[in-house]
Amino acid sequence: MPDEAQVRQALVAHELCGFFQPKFILETGEITGVEVLARWRHASGKTLPPTSFLPVLERCGLLDELLCQQLHEGLALQRQLRGQGHDLDFAFNLHAVQLANSSFASHIGTLLSEYDARGSSLTFELTESGLLQAPQTSLECLFRLQMMGCRLSIDDFGTGFSSLQRLFQLPFNEIKLDAGFIQALAQEPRCHAVISSTLALGESLGMTVVAEGIETDEQHQYLLNMGCTQGQGYWCAKPMNGGDLLRWFQGEQQRSQRA
C-alpha cells in the first residue's frame, strides 16, 4: 500500500487522474453521460484503483484538491465533447466530509462560468453510507448545488439504512442501484424484488434510476424487461481515460453511420 508521501507526490504530479465510464439508455444504447472515476496512473505504468489512495487523501484532508483537479479535467473534456455534438452530463463523486466546505457551491459556480457549462450538465454522486455521516448543517450545500441546476444522485442505493429518510429530506434527482443487486440477479431471486421496488420508488418520486454493474447480455435484457431505462457497466463500456473516451465516441459515430 502506498504511503502518505507517495500519494501526496502523485497528487502534485497529476498522476491521480479521471477515468470516464459512460451511462447509457438500455433500450437504445444512447449515451446520456459519464461518471468521472479517480485512478492513479502510476509511474510504473500500472493503473491503481481508488482504494490505494483515497483513504490517504481523506485522512490528510486532500479530497477537495483531488476533486478540483477532476472538475477541471472533466469540464475541459465535456466542453470538447460538446464541441463535437455530444451534450453529456458529467457525474463526480462527492464525499460527505466535503459538504462542510462553505465555499464549495460558489467554487462550482466559478468553474461553470470558466468552462461555459450549465449547472444541469453536472451530477454529484454521494454514497448512501456517506450521507449517514454528514451532519444536517452541511447538507445545506446540496440545496445550494440544486439551486444552481446541478443534479444530485444517491449512489450504492440499498446498502445503507436511511435511504428512504434521505430521499424524503434531500433534493436528489437520481438513484444509482448498487451493482451487487445486478450481479446477483441470476443466483438470488430476491434481488428481483429489490430492483423492482426501487424502480417503482424512483417512478413515484420522479427520480431516474440507474442500474450499476451491468456486465452481461442476460443482465441487460432482464433489466430492460423490468422497465429499467438507464444503466452503467462493462456491457456498454469500461472506464477509460479522456483520450480513449474521445476515440470511443468517434468509433460509435462511425458505427452508427454504417448502420
Q: What percent of the chain has pLDDT over 70?
A: 89
Domains and their CATH numbers in the chain = 16-36+85-258 (3.20.20.450)
- What's the mean pLDDT in 55-70? 94
Digit-coded pLDDT (tens) for 223-255: 999 999 999 999 999 999 999 999 999 887 666
CA dihedral for 63, 65, 69, 74, sign (positive or negative): positive
Confirm whether 212 is a catalytic residue: yes
Digit-coded pLDDT (tens) for 81-127: 999 999 999 999 998 888 888 899 999 999 999 999 999 999 999 87
Digit-coded pLDDT (tens) for 197-227: 999 999 998 999 999 999 999 999 999 999 9
pLDDT value at position 190?
86
From the list 27, 212, 215, 218, the catalytic residue is 212
Task: Look up residue 250 and give its three cell numbers.
Answer: 468517434
pTM confidence score: 0.91
